[in-house]
Chains A and B, each alone.
Chain A
Amino acid sequence: MAIADIKHRPGIVLGAAVVFHVALISAQVSSASGLPVLQVVTFGAFSELQRLVTGAITGSQNLWAGYVSLRGVREENAALRRDLQALQIRLQEERALAQRAEDLRQLLELHDRAELDTAAAEIIGAGASPEFRTVTIDKGTADRIAADMAVISPAGVVGRVILTSPRAAKVQLLIDRNAAAGAIIERSRAQGIVLGGGADDLRMDYVPGTADVNPGDLVVTSGIDGIFPKGFVIGTVENVERGPGTYHEISIRPAVDFSRLEEVLVVLTPPPAVEAEAQPER
């Protein structure tokens, strides 16, 4: 009887729902320490569903690719064998070049950067809300993944881990509005902070107006944020304008194509604390 009554009184249902949500929001905003239990539990449960759906899609893709579309594989194999031979020759050349570079590096007594311990992870889901740019990866605390670990790809910086469950983790992409990373212009060593724009763009703030920045300059991580290792590519400067204050307004094209991400590397080694590099005098 009570349920039937409520069904015909949507105003009461709305009022109750609004009061509940406001109380929920108030509780979180007033106590900002730690992650809400509801968020962790829901994420853990839903990541399993994402894994299931992604597994089903990947399975059908594999079925198609492995059994149905195998026509012309013999010709493809021959072509690939030829390519492999060419690449093996190329590898020998590159190895010789790498050895020469290593010799030069030792000659210049450069500090050897510590080897990064990484874990490969597959993306199993996108963000649940278009306002937040996050992805879910298939590795979690069971694979030594923890919050605030950097996530990279061969092209450059992808983002950082913000939430973990035993078998999955949520990664905040660098293009999210709340994401940021310490950065430097590789050519002039001008420092700043790269911030996500919410779409597929980045901007670099707090670069002094006197700093030497040009379109096409490579932007790399500075390491001062304590999350991203130093020297990883973020993107290239697309546009530089003199802002209203004392800083440049710099837009950056990300090096990573976030729409094509399938696999990423999670950096397990925490980066060493890096002192901020002094600004070059002009």
Chain B
Amino acid sequence: MRLARTLAALAAALAIQTTLTSYVQEAAALDFVLVTVVSLALTSGPTTGVLAGSAAGLVQDALSSGVIGIGALAKTVVGFAAGRIGTQFIVTAPLPRFVVFVVATLVHAALFMGLYVLLGVRTFPSPYVAVGGQAVGNAVVGVIGFQLTEWLPVFLARRRLRRPTRR
């Protein structure tokens, strides 16, 4: 059940990344797949983070025009680190989660761009503003996503309880 939920979340993130960005140009700068990997890692632990990051990164790389494996490696490491943080610290309030998403995006960008530059495949002249914007954007999306997934079941349960019973 958990595996199915994880796969569904990653598939939805990939679908959003590749279709929503066609309609909302501002969303193109965000990495919904990374947000999903970090969210899964925070809630399910480092093993899930590694596997989700690895699988989602591979698909994302294969759909992009770059070297397959670089994005996957970056997401694997970020998934592991986020999972470790989720198990070692209490990351349930919006602010700590925001910080985790920001740091995860920065680490991911550093690994991703660093590997490309190291291999001499690609250059990224002055990416700081773009990466900073992406970090904040990813964090906002991640925190809102978390709040919604936690708030929605509670809201539905309350509505069910308030409904008058028929005799």
B residues 51-68 touching A (CB-CB < 8 Å): 51, 53-54, 57-68
Question: B19, B53, B112, B124 — which one has the most chain A CB atoms within 10 A of its CB?
Answer: B19
Answer whether A128 and B22 are a contact pair too, CB < 8 Å, given A24-B69, A46-B59, A178-B122: no
Question: A123, A170, A177 — which one has the most chain B CB atoms within 10 A of its CB?
Answer: A177
Interface residue A153 (Cβ < 8 Å from any Cβ of B): no
Q: Which of A24, A54, A128 contacts B64 (CB 8 A)?
A: A128
Contact between chains at B64 and A127 (CB < 8 Å): yes
* B-chain residues with CB within 8 Å of residue A176 when the two chains form the complex: 65
Contact between chains at B59 and A42 (CB < 8 Å): yes
Interface residue B25 (Cβ < 8 Å from any Cβ of A): yes
Answer whether A42 and B62 are a contact pair too, CB < 8 Å, given A10-B50, A25-B119, A135-B22: yes
* A-chain residues with CB within 8 Å of residue B28 when the two chains form the complex: 126-127, 130
A124 to B33, CA, bound (A): 19
Contact between chains at B62 and A43 (CB < 8 Å): yes
Number of interface residues of A (CB under 8 A): 52
* B-chain residues with CB within 8 Å of residue A38 when the two chains form the complex: 58, 62, 68
Number of interface residues of B (CB under 8 A): 56
A259 to B134, CA, bound (A): 18
Minimum distance in angstroms from A254 CB to a CB of chain B: 13
Which of A12-20, A206-214, A219-227 contacts its partner?
Answer: A12-20
Contact between chains at B31 and A28 (CB < 8 Å): no
A124 to B50, CA, bound (A): 30
A14 to B82, CA, bound (A): 13
Interface residue B46 (Cβ < 8 Å from any Cβ of A): yes
Contact between chains at B60 and A129 (CB < 8 Å): yes
Give me the 7 closest cross-chain CB pairs, A-B, nearest first: A259-B25, A128-B63, A42-B62, A10-B46, A24-B69, A126-B21, A21-B73
Show 17 residue pairs from A and B whose CB-CB distance is below 8 angstroms, ordered by the A residue. A6-B47, A10-B45, A10-B80, A13-B50, A17-B51, A17-B73, A20-B54, A29-B119, A42-B62, A50-B18, A53-B15, A124-B22, A129-B71, A130-B31, A131-B64, A131-B66, A135-B22
* 16 further A-B pairs in the complex, CB-CB below 8 A; given A25-B70, A128-B14, A259-B25: A13-B50, A17-B51, A22-B69, A25-B68, A29-B121, A53-B19, A54-B19, A125-B19, A126-B21, A127-B21, A128-B17, A128-B63, A129-B60, A129-B71, A130-B28, A177-B123
Interface residues of A, Cβ cutoff 8 Å to B: 6-10, 13-14, 17-18, 20-22, 24-25, 28-29, 36, 38-39, 41-43, 46, 49-50, 53-54, 57, 123-132, 134-136, 162-163, 170, 172, 176-178, 198-199, 258-259
